[in-house]
Structure 1
Amino acid sequence: MLFLDPPYQPRIIIENEDFAVVDKPPFFLSHPTKKKRGFSLLEWLYNQNNQIPWKLIHRLDRETSGLLLVAKNNASAAYFGRQMEKRLIRKGYFAITWGELKADYLKIEAPLGYLGVSSENEIVIRQGIQSNGSQAITEIYPLGYGGGHSLLWVKPQTGKLHQIRVHLSLIKHPIVGDKLYGPNPSYFLDFSKQGWTKEMEKSLLLPRHALHAAFLSFFWKGNKQTVFLPLSDDLEQFLKLTKGFQKIHNPRFFEIS
């Protein structure tokens, strides 16, 4: 039994007097909560400088690594909040999935909502496709495949809870390591009680879901800002150890901005 710690501390990628872009490690909460174990990025930032009223502009799931935009004052928080409402803040993710997706481009449009607790679903936060749910659109660009897996570049056009994970599961390409939307949703509850086990390792392959927030664009003082963060070391290593995996050239990937 093992409860997993972040493999590295958060890293500030860009910072000025009004905002910062931070690399959040996996197994690190975005925001503190009483229900989940572990330290949070917001607490880490307060420890760096508790005179700053840090405010997260968006969040990442606990196991997702990568870029987060953080405001350092109320004015910048409001400014970025308006951009979020107008969908002017764009994001891009690397995802490693089960199955070999051999296509140049795929667009998923499927509304999302809470499934609700029932005999078929014990997990309160679990999302699913709901006809009366919120609009959710995800664009997918394969960047490699082989050995039963794919490397995908994912651009969510909307920002719904667990959107990427649910949409990839919908098309039968769930994210490697996903305890909630992968082969057995009960792993989500088992992990919270027992930690990482040999059974999970055999089935999930990775101790965290293979999703990495790699691209962020936003506007600041009239100028477009873009930040790119390469695939995290643990996910890069997984691909290197996957026999038969090959990266491919997808020209659409370079249109990330």
Structure 2
Amino acid sequence: MREISYTVPAEFDGVQAQVFLKSRGISRRVLTALKRSGGLTRGGGILRTVDAVHAGEVITLQLDGGETSVAANPELSADIVYEDEDVVVFNKPPFMPVHPSQRHHDDTLANLFAARYPGLPFRPINRLDRNTSGLCVCAKNQFAAAALSGSISKVYYAITDGTPPGDTVDAPIGRLGDSVIERCVTPDGKPAVTHFRKIAGERRALLRITLETGRTHQIRVHMAHIGFPLCGDDMYGGDCTAISRQALHCGEVEFTLPVSGERITISAPLPEDMAAILDGTNERT
């Protein structure tokens, strides 16, 4: 059970509790859950969302963690690069799915989360493909999930053979034929914009990438579209001789902490397999 308390400032004296709490980033969905559970209190007594609050009063939220049906797997590991009472940020290794599926029942980040935080539902705020490494932000309660949703800025790092021209790809993305997984640039797709710049490398280029949109496989599709697929990306035509997965890493996330409102930036270094192909130490013969 997560407990959060707020002291009502003078400028909110006499307003409804829901007005004050919404000013603190509490979503309507969380308020509804608090009403159902009786988790909104003042001075030890139940507080209704329509009740007036007054300056100096302490309003307390008791957030139920919820339930989970995901099997715990304590044998899995992923580095934790940030953690507080509301948020945990994992550095997900490559080849680990985020969610269980028909082919992956107990080897996912969700299974690891279930082992580390028994009983808490798995609430990832950003998601990564199985073979993509990097930072995955997870909320520990419904309040944090609502506060974090839409607030995360991400920076990706990718490696291509050669340096792509320009710095932006603006091309719509949609499904490739009847494929459930594969995507392509297509006129009737959804708008997609990718920004990139080279930050290192000679024969191979290390790109720093940011997105205006979040389409499935967006970076991979856009780089392939301009003739520079990611190294190791067998789905979109990348050279797989030096690395066994797409060379893509979520290396930086920026978000606002749910309670304090502080904006923080978390980073994770380039993984060994990607660093190796930049300097040629991981070449295959």
**TM-score normalised by the chain length of structure 2:** 0.67
Distance 1:23 1:181, change over 3 A: same
- Equivalence for 2:77: 9
What is the RMSD computed on CA atoms of the aligned residues?
Answer: 2.0
- Equivalence for 1:218: 255
What amino acid does structure 2 have at the position aligned with 1:93?
A: Y
Question: Following TM superposition, by how much is the alpha carbon of 1:9 offset from its aligned partner in structure 2, in angstroms?
Answer: 2.8
Question: Following TM superposition, by how much is the alpha carbon of 1:58 offset from its aligned partner in structure 2, in angstroms?
Answer: 1.6
Does 2:175 match 1:114? yes
Does 2:126 match 1:53? no
- Equivalence for 2:274: 235
Distance 1:16 1:23, change over 3 A: same
State the alpha-carbon separation in 2 of the partners of residues 100 and 219 from structure 1.
34
Structure possessing the higher radius of gyration over alpha carbons:
2
Does 2:145 match 1:89? no
State the alpha-carbon separation in 2 of the partners of residues 158 and 124 from structure 1.
20
- Equivalence for 2:242: 205
Distance 1:38 1:108, change over 3 A: farther
Structure 2, unmatched stretches of 5+, are 1-75
**Deviations along 1:66-92, whole A, 9 cap, x unmatched?**
0010000111111122xx2xxx31111
Matches within 5 A, 1:128-147: 128-147=184-203
What amino acid does structure 2 have at the position aligned with 1:166?
A: V
Structure 1, unmatched stretches of 5+, are 1-7, 118-122, 184-201, 244-257
* Equivalent position to 1:18, from 77, 86, 100: 86
- Equivalence for 1:199: none
Deviates more, 1:229-238 or 1:58-67: 229-238
Deviates more, 1:88-97 or 1:202-211: 202-211
State the alpha-carbon separation in 1 of the partners of residues 111 and 180 from structure 2.
26
- Which protein has greater RCO, CA pairs closer than 8 Å, 6+ apart? 1
**TM-score normalised by the chain length of structure 1:** 0.74
Distance 1:143 1:24, change over 3 A: same
What amino acid does structure 2 have at the position aligned with 1:76?
A: A
State the alpha-carbon separation in 2 of the partners of residues 127 and 37 from structure 1.
25
Question: Following TM superposition, by how much is the alpha carbon of 1:233 offset from its aligned partner in structure 2, in angstroms?
Answer: 1.3
The structure that is helix-richer by fraction is 1
Residue identity over aligned pairs, in percent, reads: 35
Question: Following TM superposition, by how much is the alpha carbon of 1:171 offset from its aligned partner in structure 2, in angstroms?
Answer: 1.0
State the alpha-carbon separation in 1 of the partners of residues 240 and 118 from structure 2.
42
SS of alignment partner, residue 158 of structure 2: strand
Matches within 5 A, 1:149-168: 149-168=204-223
Matches within 5 A, 1:28-47: 28-36=96-104, 39-47=107-115
